[in-house]
Structure 1
Amino acid sequence: MNVQKAIDRKKLDEKTPLMPWFVQQFIDYKLPDLSPSTLLEYVRDYEQFFGWLRAEGLTKAEANGEVTLTDLETLRMEDVVGYRLHLTTRTEGTNSKITVSRKMSSLRSLFHYLSQIAEDENFYPLLKRNIMAKVEIKRIHKPKDTAAKLKGKILEEDELLEFIGYIAEGYGHDIEGNKQALYAYEQNKERDACIASLILNSGLRVSEVVNLNADDLDLNNKLVYVYRKGNNDETFKTPVYFREQSKDDLAHYLTLRYTRYRTPKREKALFVAVPNGQKEGKRMTKRAIQAMIIKYAKRFGKPYLTVHKLRHSFATDYYLQNDIYKTKEQLGHASTETTEVYAHLTDKTMSEAIERRVSGGS
């Protein structure tokens, strides 16, 4: 099990017993099909919903685990509308439309399971009335809209190489007056440039980069083996190719991984950092990589650039030379629907991409 999944599985195991018995049953039902990370999001959504039911007096339960099936059966449409309003208008941490849509989808999944799949001892549905079946959840982010939001906020053409070069050298010139920042930069510039290079030359997700171990790397064949999102087979790692440029950057970083970061042999992580006050290299965190890319992006003049937008940058560049099916496979998308974004970003129409596939030009 990869690092993040292991952390999320532990949190899931801690939170699930605090849920009503029927939610625990639902989580068990979904466990073979969904990742611990996804199920943890479900449980957090249910925590919030049950907390709201209690606050509104729509249940007599004093704790989330005491909410009953009857409480759910007797909800009215006005209650569901009230909850959506709560999610969109509450003063602290207002949710985006996408987040509200996801939270409502979580509830629909639970209610569907209870009314259509789960049975009591007499073979009747656990939930006799499903209010959530009346709720229409519109698709929020269409590929064309996502592409429009990304325009001008990703790296294009020569900028991909320029950004890696800036991390490797240019940033140092910009901060030469700040000795402390310069020292930290000199320590980490090869590693940081290598991470940016790997994402910009393979399209890996940040979670996939974080979970990489040194022995997942096959430099000769320009491959890394990763746990791909949505694949719950804990024994299988998907081979993902990277471009030639990344091979040189990785080889250079590997010569420093052990010596500069004093990485012990028991540490399997490919990308490591020495935490403050400690002496040995440990696996870099997702947050550290995200913050690192933002730091360089601001100085580079691309303040909107994030680590996930590096993936978008690669994908757009890759799609210009390949069809939508190859791009889907390289990125590890579940369907070409997600990959459509890059058709809109590159102004290549979907029909062009599909024609190339049909005519065998791939």
Structure 2
Amino acid sequence: MASTSRERQKHEKRLEKQLKDMPFYVVEYIRDKKRSRYSPSTLLVYVHDFRHFFQWLITEGIARCEQIKDIPLEILENLRKKDVEFYIDYLTDEPYEQRKNVFKKRTHDSVLRSIHALKSLFNYLTTETEDENGECYFYRNVFAKIETYKEKETANRRTKKINSVLLKGPEIKEFLDFMKYEYETLLNSHQKRCFLRDKERDIAIISLILGSGARVDEIANLTLENIDFKKAQIDIVRKGNKQDTINVLPSSLEDLKNYLGVRKERYKATDEDVYVFLSKYGGKAQPISVRTIQNNIKKYTKAFSGKTLSPHKLRHTFASEWLRSGGELVLLRDQLGHNSIETTAKYTNLDNEEAKKVINRMDTLFEDDNN
């Protein structure tokens, strides 16, 4: 079966490093949530949210200390509702550097995520902790007074947005054929050399996502022993470090075989290089990063259709085609690794063709009645 993902291991190390600068009660919170099987990726994002909040407390003079790790519990206990509201306004209006010299403001969902993280911390401190007397660290939870509102969106509106950035039916094969036969004709000599070096690898990665619905990190962490060509399946590591096995389209496995045929020579792979998809740095094979896959998919989809698609949109594409092909929703849930059928059910609205047919039939009837 699949082993613990590289991404998880990397985030574990980064999380432990971040905790060195955090107050003791944040360290306790993280340890508790790790026991509750929160992923290191989620907890790392939470710690970044805590750091931003604590730094704001220091900057505003609410916490009169120089280092975040020295902020006492009393500061959190005595926070006023207006203080938190000021912080939320600051989160909403603060421009942050997305990349060098490019600034933007946080989305509503990003602000909600930060508030949710702080709500979780304050709930832990006021209901789950225990001091030497068996009491919680404090009981006054100011974040319990903060209401959040998620921007509402109908299923049809969400469907329209998703559908605008999906590959549909014949477009899937057309896209893969574009990468195989046409893309290189658009490149200069240097770009063409780089593309041809990684052509089979990149085609195999995209074909696997489109042919299995796997997440990008699940593909990046795939090892050679995870592939079963005979059963047309791969073993992957899901969110929460859960082991799973999923089916793959035979055509996608053919693209994978084409890549494996050049993998050893192209990337100087040795028996110690167990990860399927490799890059070459300093003349040595290295596992490809999630970021590299994401950037490559954006590049190829932009060249194909003028639209930049993410790996997650390719996953949406797989789900949409599954249902159009008559696949059951429950089986799709298992294939995608969703925890609930409600999450998977959002894909049932992706195909609006049947609704259009009903409207057209109704329009025909109205016309007949008017004649």
Instruction: Flag whether TM exceeds 0.5 (same fold).
Output: yes
Match runs of 1:169-188 below 5 Å: 169-175=181-187, 178-188=188-198
Opposite residue 274 of structure 1, the aligned amino acid is K
Q: Which runs of 4+ in 1 moved over 6 A?
A: none
SS in 1 for 2:105: coil
- Partner in structure 2 of residue 48 of structure 1: 52
- Give how far 1:347 is off: 3.6
Residue 254 of structure 1 is aligned with which of 245, 260, 266? 260
- Give how far 1:348 is off: 8.9
Residue 348 of structure 2 is aligned with which of 332, 343, 346? 343
- Partner in structure 2 of residue 39 of structure 1: 43
- Partner in structure 1 of residue 161 of structure 2: 149
Q: 1:159 to 1:284 in 2, by over 3 A?
A: same
SS in 2 for 1:281: strand
Opposite residue 312 of structure 2, the aligned amino acid is H
Work out the CA distance in 2 between the residues paired with 1:97 and 1:310: 25
SS in 2 for 1:132: helix
- Partner in structure 1 of residue 116 of structure 2: 105
Post-superposition Cα deviations, 1:301-337, rounded to whole Å, max 9, x if no partner, equal 1423122211111111112222322221111112223
Q: 1:295 to 1:62 in 2, by over 3 A?
A: same
Q: Is the 8 A contact 1:98 1:141 kept in 2?
A: no
Q: Is the 8 A contact 2:227 2:235 kept in 1?
A: yes
- Give how far 1:107 is off: 0.4
Match runs of 1:55-70 below 5 Å: 55-70=59-74
Q: Is the 8 A contact 1:8 1:40 kept in 2?
A: yes
Q: 1:348 to 1:342 in 2, by over 3 A?
A: farther
- Give how far 1:247 is off: 1.6
Opposite residue 53 of structure 1, the aligned amino acid is L
- Partner in structure 1 of residue 225 of structure 2: 215
Work out the CA distance in 1 between the residues paired with 2:129 and 2:154: 35
Work out the CA distance in 1 between the residues paired with 2:198 and 2:126: 54
Give the TM-score normalised by the residue count of structure 2: 0.88
- Give how far 1:55 is off: 0.8
Match runs of 1:285-300 below 5 Å: 285-300=289-304
Post-superposition Cα deviations, 1:273-327, rounded to whole Å, max 9, x if no partner, equal 113xx21221111111111111111110142312221111111111222232222
Unmatched tracts of structure 1, length 5 or more: 350-362
Q: Is the 8 A contact 1:261 1:273 kept in 2?
A: yes
Work out the CA distance in 1 between the residues paired with 2:321 and 2:312: 15
- Give how far 1:97 is off: 0.8
Q: Is the 8 A contact 1:200 1:313 kept in 2?
A: yes
Opposite residue 20 of structure 2, the aligned amino acid is P
Work out the CA distance in 2 between the residues paired with 1:284 and 1:215: 17
Q: Is the 8 A contact 2:299 2:308 kept in 1?
A: no
- Give how far 1:170 is off: 1.5
Q: Is the 8 A contact 1:101 1:140 kept in 2?
A: no
- Give how far 1:142 is off: 5.3
Q: Is the 8 A contact 1:143 1:340 kept in 2?
A: no
Q: 1:143 to 1:107 in 2, by over 3 A?
A: farther
- Partner in structure 2 of residue 314 of structure 1: 318
Instruction: Establish whether residue 6 from structure 1 lines up as the match of residue 5 from structure 2.
Output: no
Work out the CA distance in 2 between the residues paired with 1:280 and 1:75: 53
Q: 1:309 to 1:118 in 2, by over 3 A?
A: same
Opposite residue 11 of structure 1, the aligned amino acid is R
- Higher alpha-carbon Rg: 2
Instruction: Establish whether residue 21 from structure 1 lines up as the match of residue 31 from structure 2.
Output: no
Q: Is the 8 A contact 1:264 1:280 kept in 2?
A: no
- Partner in structure 2 of residue 119 of structure 1: 130
Give the TM-score normalised by the residue count of structure 1: 0.90
Work out the CA distance in 1 between the residues paired with 2:30 and 2:134: 20
- Partner in structure 2 of residue 355 of structure 1: none
Work out the CA distance in 1 between the residues paired with 2:87 and 2:50: 12
SS in 1 for 2:133: coil
Q: Provide the alpha-carbon RMSD of the alignment.
A: 1.7
Identical pairs, percent: 33
Work out the CA distance in 2 between the residues paired with 1:261 and 1:165: 24
- Give how far 1:165 is off: 1.3
Unmatched tracts of structure 2, length 5 or more: 97-103, 355-371
- Give how far 1:117 is off: 1.1
Instruction: Establish whether residue 161 from structure 1 lines up as the match of residue 173 from structure 2.
Output: yes
Work out the CA distance in 1 between the residues paired with 2:337 and 2:130: 36
Work out the CA distance in 1 between the residues paired with 2:9 and 2:56: 30
- Give how far 1:338 is off: 2.2
Opposite residue 106 of structure 1, the aligned amino acid is A
Post-superposition Cα deviations, 1:107-158, rounded to whole Å, max 9, x if no partner, equal 0111111111112122222122001111123334757254332121110111
